[in-house]
Amino acid sequence: MHSYTAHAANDIEPHRVDDQAERAMTAVGALVLQLRKDSGLSIGSLAAAAGLSPGLLSQIERGQGNPSLTTLIKLSQALKVPVGRFFDTGDQAGAIVRRADRKRLEVAEDNLVYELLTPHMHGQLGMLRAQIGAGWDNRDAPFKHPGEECVTVVQGRLHVCVNGVGYDLEEGDSLTYDSSLPHWYRNPTSEDAALIGAMTPPTF
């Protein structure tokens, strides 16, 4: 994944960011493989359920390539797990998360970055920061997960649609909604946008 505002962590060396991205994709592939086997699914059956090609799914499981967020959403729905499971949270504990130590989920779309602001996704509250590249949207694979969510736009502008109702948000605007309803985001501008989201329970 790439940058926030200018970079998600300007004080992180480029090679360290690349290493984090490679480790994250390896972890995602291993998790998909584990979840598929735990569910008793073949590559073909999971690929069909997620609307993906078996070849692409095989690449993802081997940690190759960089699947799009839309692809991860489709996989999470087919596997019946939240997208947030794909964060490489490791065993981090405690109360503080240093900027340089945020867990990152980087996906193929240009400048689409998710960073976890809480130590993990196993408590009662989850917070993340997302950079959303110009023109990106996930209308074809909306989020849908139990709980309540509040998002605040901290850079740029975003269109957020919840259960068919659209909201145009500018920098500083917040939106709270029932996250069990289908919801998706679109950046209608030519510039990156960023938001901070809070979720309870911490799923997305």
The C-alpha atoms of residue 47 and residue 84 are separated, in whole angstroms, by 20
The C-alpha atoms of residue 119 and residue 137 are separated, in whole angstroms, by 27
The C-alpha atoms of residue 198 and residue 63 are separated, in whole angstroms, by 29
The tens digit of pLDDT for each residue in 154-168 reads: 999 999 999 999 999
116, 97 contact by CB (below 8 A): yes
* Tokens at 92, concatenated: 């981090």
The C-alpha atoms of residue 9 and residue 70 are separated, in whole angstroms, by 24
The tens digit of pLDDT for each residue in 102-122 reads: 888 777 656 688 899 998 888
pTM of the model: 0.76
pLDDT beyond 60 at 202: yes
pLDDT beyond 60 at 9: no
The tens digit of pLDDT for each residue in 71-101 reads: 888 999 899 888 878 765 555 667 899 998 8
The tens digit of pLDDT for each residue in 46-72 reads: 999 999 999 999 999 998 877 888 888
| Distance, CA of 40 to chain centre | 25
